[in-house]
Amino acid sequence: MFRFHKALDVITLFHKPSLPASTRVLNILKQVSAHASEGATEDQASDHSHQNKIQRSEFELNVTEEPPTSDQLRTILEYVGARRAKDIIDGARDEGDAMRLLKEDSKRFRRPVIVDWNNGRAVIGDSESEIMKMVGELPKGETV
């Protein structure tokens, strides 16, 4: 019987290469993505039950140095809560303020920010435990 594979979840990293924290996050995401892809190509006839328990779902990593669009920022604030606007946009007090300040000066956007668009989650900053939790909670794809 033929089954379609689930489309990969998209995780976007709003990145700034000159920031050590952002570079660290990029390296974490690349390692996790490579590990997930590596496990996905294992020989199906072999017993990998132990490895499958710790295996992470594959995901598409989208890295951008651009700030989010207004719609993306609004969505990110929905994921993390409007009270976190100040953590994403320097000087913002609330969602409306964040939107206005981003339009005025995109350099106010703080990086890194990691967003799982498919599952409605975001991580602000470089907390490895939060990033690993987000990636670990990705739904497992269907196999053929």
Cβ(119)–Cβ(111) under 8 Å?
Answer: no
Q: What is the pTM of this model?
A: 0.81
- Residue pLDDT, tens place only, 99-119: 999 999 999 999 999 999 999
Q: What is the dihedral of CA 72, 70, 90, 31, to 10 degrees?
A: 20
pLDDT of residue 52: 43
Location of structure tokens 């497992």: 140
Q: Which residues contact 52 (CB under 8 A, 6 or more apart)?
A: 39
Give 53-75 as a DSSP string. HHPPPPEEEEEE-SPPPHHHHHH
pLDDT of residue 39: 53
CA distances to 48, 49, 53 from 43, in Å: 9, 12, 16
**Ranges under pLDDT 50 in the chain:** 40-54, 142-144
Cα–Cα nearest to 123, from 35, 8, 32: 32
Separation CA 69–CA 100 (nearest Å): 12
pLDDT of residue 78: 96
Separation CA 78–CA 84 (nearest Å): 10
